[in-house]
Structures are given as structure tokens and as C-alpha cells.
Amino acid sequence: MKKIHFILCLILCIALPTHGRKTEKAFQQVNFSQVKIQDRFWSPRIENNALRTIPVCIDQIENKTGRIRNFENAAKGEGKHSGIFFDDSDVYKAVEGVAYSLINNPDSALEAHMDEWIDKFAAAQQPDGYINTFYTLTGLQNRWTDMDKHEMYCAGHMLEAAIAYYQATGKDKLLGVAKRMVHHMMDTFGPGKRRWVPGHEEIELALCKLYALTGERRYLDFAHWLLEERGHGLGIANGKPWNPTHYQDVVPVSELRQIHGHAVRAMYLFCGMADVASYIKGTNYMAALDSLWDNVTQCHMYVTGGIGVAYRAEGFSEPFDLPNYDAYCETCASIGMVLWNHRMNEWKGDARYVDVLERSLYNGVIAGVSLTGEKFFYVNPLASHGKHHRQEWYGCACCPSNVCRFIPSLGNYIYGTSDDALWVNLYVGSEVSFTLNNKDVRARMETEMPWQGTSRLTFETPMKGTLRLRIPAWTEQFKVSVNGTPVRFGHNAKADRGYVVLRRSWKKGDVVEVNAEIKTKLVEADPRIKEDVGQRAVQRGPLIYCAEEVDNPHHFAEIALSPTTTWSDRYDTRLRGIVELKATEAGQTFTLIPYYAWDNRLAGEMRVWMPWKE
């Protein structure tokens, strides 16, 4: 088997339609409401999210924690606040997840349930528009005194939930609540008013969504103002200046060149910067984001697409400090990597961003939820001594609620459209409808990804325009045919920024077949990553593999690979269906499974990087 020298650190929104507002993007995503996923790999996960993950979140919020009771108490103006000061955000993210699920899976009872929650939110809102149960129940006189108490973070998640629920149901009660909170913030902060730096970014990208929905420029300008407040020594937490490194507050954001601080906050900041830059020229944000992307993917990203080190406050250590047992790789941070790389690709139209998005999606994100959809990882290490297990919930439950809202929005990342082109970014079985050159178009994709490399796109209506097919970085051979005839590069076909570009008039019934060769490959880390020296990881297609003690109970400690290791793979129905790998070395055979599927059976050791014997 060919060894691939993998410079680990060198590879390496849910955004709304802009409704006519001009952006600088290379293309716009096709919203997931226009994409019906019918896929062997993804459909069960979306169904699990609707049938199990969302109910788990609702049960925890209503019955096992005090999150909904906080709103009830705030409405009455009495009672204690239960939990952490930012727990409101988990409730809002659950509403957002329900809204996305309702778009493709209408459920009148679930919708009525959310209407009851929204009534409680509205009742908890103060007359001036302020809403935050922590300060309502612990002392409104203390609101807006601590930049790290997540008031704007919670407001941002409420706003995203409100927009999603409005789009799903047409009901604007929550949108009204959210806008009143936004107006309260804009009355309090801004040019000539109080200055403020949100301790946890999120409101910035939510405000851009509100601008996209309403066309009201003041929301975009407020997001821009909040971004420009960073890096001027304004940050206050617990009554004293905060550590600016942790909060991405060292320099103005347009001058950022290296990532630092909390991983999830950084991802949301970069998403907000990309969104603002797509509407406002001259911010210089994209120059910063280009450098930051290089820095993240070259120096701070794990082979799973995860980011963050445990002993650095859920954030970043020195370049190339990527420990395996102490990897943090928070599920929320992997979701943030998807959101950020999606925006970078929309801006640049370059497939390398989708390569990272896909790596984070298939490894870092879906590892964060069990195969049943009922248990979760907050932290996703690349090695375990057997003491790291999925849980039903967490005191800080940002990850379960984030998964709940992310999974049903998967369709956002599959297709895009520009003035005259359909972009295919991910190979996921689905039906899509969109408008191109003022014509309604429908197409259908069938695929066996990520297990096999063949995908077929069938046009169900004519389309006059260009088709752009992403060439995945993990494949060494990518073949394309149209109606059975192999494509040869020339006048009507070329390669551009990681895409095969086909120009022609497409007829109803035209079939485009792509074959991305999938092989088992060995991955070698950058030698500056000390923990991975003398080791290899295993990749097949977009999936990173790991060894679990449950599959190798008698010789887990003896697992090693070498140039003479022989490999075989087969599809197995266990673990909800996987391609299992067998590695035979020195007379012993080891079993490897996709990383996302680990810790779904008996507890035990796990490792991604394995000793290498020359």
C-alpha cells in the first residue's frame, strides 16, 4: 500500500439567502430547505436527531435540569436561577434544532410544544426588551457589567432560533422577542453610547442573519461595530481587565494572523468576520481570515479536523502542540470548523475549504453524538485509556444542543449556486431544487459515500449553465463521465480550484457520474508534532480510523504498523453499518473502525495514532 506523507498541519450556518442583498461571495449555498436528503449514511443520522436527540434535549431542558424553570421564574420575577449563567442558550439552540427539523419533517405536536416554550420566553422579557434569566433572577442591576457573562451570546442564539422558527413555521412571536432584545442592545451600545466587547462571540453572525432576513442595514452595522470593538483594551470580566488572548482581544480583528484563545469563540468570531466582510467592502477581514486559516490548518488542527487542547482552557497551545490523550477537540469547535470553512468556500470558491469542512464533519462532528443519538461527547480525544465515555448530558450542555441544531441543517453544505453554475461540494444522496438563469432546476444525487466512491447526479429538468464538481483531496483518481462518456479536459471541461468544471446545456435525464477512488492510506504527521513521531494514522476516504480495545482485547498494546502490513476491508452491519479494516502485521490481525463510531460498545482503550516500525 502506498504511504502518503501527510503534513498534518498543512492540510490541513447555517447562512440564510440574502434576498437580493449583494455579497462578495463566489457562490451562495442552496438552503437545506431546498434539499431532501435520501442517503444511506446520513438519513439515519437525521432521523435519529428527530426521533432521539431532540427529545433527549427537550427532556433534559424540561424535566432534568432547571433551564425552562428559569424562564418561568423570570416571568414571575421570583425564584432561584438554576445552572450556569449561559444556560438559556441551550434552550434556544434546541428550538433552532426543532425548527430545522420541522422544515423537512412537519410535526404539529412538536411545533405546539415549541410555541409553549416561546410563550415562556416572551413572558420572561423585560419591558425594555432585555431577556436573560440569569440576571433577571440574580439582580437586573448587575446586567451589562461583566463582558464574560454571555448576555450577547445567549441573545445571538435566541436570534438564530427566532429566524429559523419564523422560516419553518411563519410564526414571528419569537422573532419579535429577539428583535426587541437586539434593539435594547443597540439602544445601550454603539457609537456615542457604551462600549462593549462580547466575551463569547456569536451575536455577530446572528445579526448578519437578521440583516439578510430583513434588509435593515442597522443590524449589519451593529455587527460590524462589535467586531471593531475588539483589540482596544476594553475587555472586563469579574470587575477587572480580562486575559485578552483567551477572548481574541489582543489586536483589532483585521490584524489577526494567528489563532489564540478559546476554540469555539474563535470559530464564531471568524464566521462573524466572514459574514460582515461579504457585505461590507474594505474591512480587510478576509486578509486576516486567510492568514488565520493557514495558521489553524498548518499548526493547530488534528487529523480528525478537531481543534483545541485540554490544558489550554478549551483552546490553543503553541503551534504543533497536538497531544492525543489531552486533545480537547470540543464537538462545538468541530461544528464551528464546518461553519467557518463553509463561509470561506462560499467566499473563495476553492475546494480546499470543503476538504477541511468534510474532515471535521465526518470525524470531529459526528463523533460527538452516539450512534443511537442519545449520548454525547463534549471532548473528543484521539486516544483514551478507557475512562472517557459518552454521557446523557453535561452541566455545560452546549455540545448536545449544538448537535441537535446542526444535523438537520446538513443540506446547507452540499450544493451552491452562482450566476451560471451549480456547485457540488459534498457527495450526499439527495434531491435538490434551485433557480439558475431564471429557470427552476431539479436534480438528484445517488451515492455510496463515504464507503464507496461512485456518485451519480441526474438532472430531472433541463439546466443551462456550468456544473462544478468538487475533487476530494483524499482521492488520487477522480473520473467523470456524462451519459456514460468519459469527460476529457478541453473547451467544455477543465479543472479549477479543486473542481471539475463542465460547461454545456443539460437536458432532462442527463446523468453525470463521478468516481473518486477510495483507498486505505497511512497518514504521517508533521515531524514537529512530537507525540506523533514514529506513528501513523489510517484514513479511508474522508474517514479517520481508530483501534478500540473491544475489537482487539488480547493484543491492543501490541498494535503496530509497518511497510509490510497487509490490509483488507469489508462492509459490516455492526455499528449501524461500517467498512471495517483489518491490518495484518507479523502474524497478528488488528481491527480498525471509523473514529466517529468509537465508545458505542464496551468501555476500553482507543487510539488513532499507532506505532510504526520501519
Helix, coil or strand: residue 175:
helix
- Which neighbouring-strand residues pair with 572? 578
Determine whether 314 is an active site residue.
Answer: yes
- Catalytic option among 13, 271, 329, 398: 398
Helix, coil or strand: residue 54:
helix
- How many other CB atoms are found less than 10 A from the CB of residue 483? 10
Cβ partners under 8 Å of residue 442, min gap 6: 431, 432, 433, 459, 460, 461
The CATH class given to the 428-471+477-516 domain equals mainly beta
Task: Please report, for the chain, the start and end positions of each structural domain, with discontinuous segments joined by +.
Answer: 3-415, 428-471+477-516, 522-611
**Which residue has cell 452546549?**
398
- Catalytic option among 201, 314, 358, 549: 314
Looking at CATH, the fold of the domain delimited by 3-415 is given as Glycosyltransferase (1.50.10)
pLDDT of residue 310: 86
- Which neighbouring-strand residues pair with 594? 545
Nearest in space to 578 (alpha carbons), one of 600, 559, 610: 600
Cα dihedral 173/179/181/183 (nearest 10): -150
pLDDT of residue 19: 41
pLDDT of residue 462: 98
Whole-angstrom Cα distance, residue 85 to residue 55? 23
Mean pLDDT, consecutive 10-residue segments, the chain of 614 residues? 34 37 85 97 97 98 97 97 98 98 95 98 98 98 98 98 97 98 98 98 98 98 98 96 97 98 98 97 97 98 96 93 97 98 98 98 98 97 97 96 98 97 98 97 98 98 97 97 93 92 96 98 97 98 98 95 97 96 95 98 97 94
Determine whether 431 is an active site residue.
Answer: no
Q: Are 179 and 158 contacting, i.e. CB atoms less than 8 angstroms apart?
A: no
Q: Are 90 and 401 contacting, i.e. CB atoms less than 8 angstroms apart?
A: yes
Statement: the pTM of the whole predicted model exceeds 0.85: yes
pLDDT of residue 15: 37
Angle at 319 between CA 249 and CA 11, to 5 degrees: 105
Whole-angstrom Cα distance, residue 175 to residue 412? 22
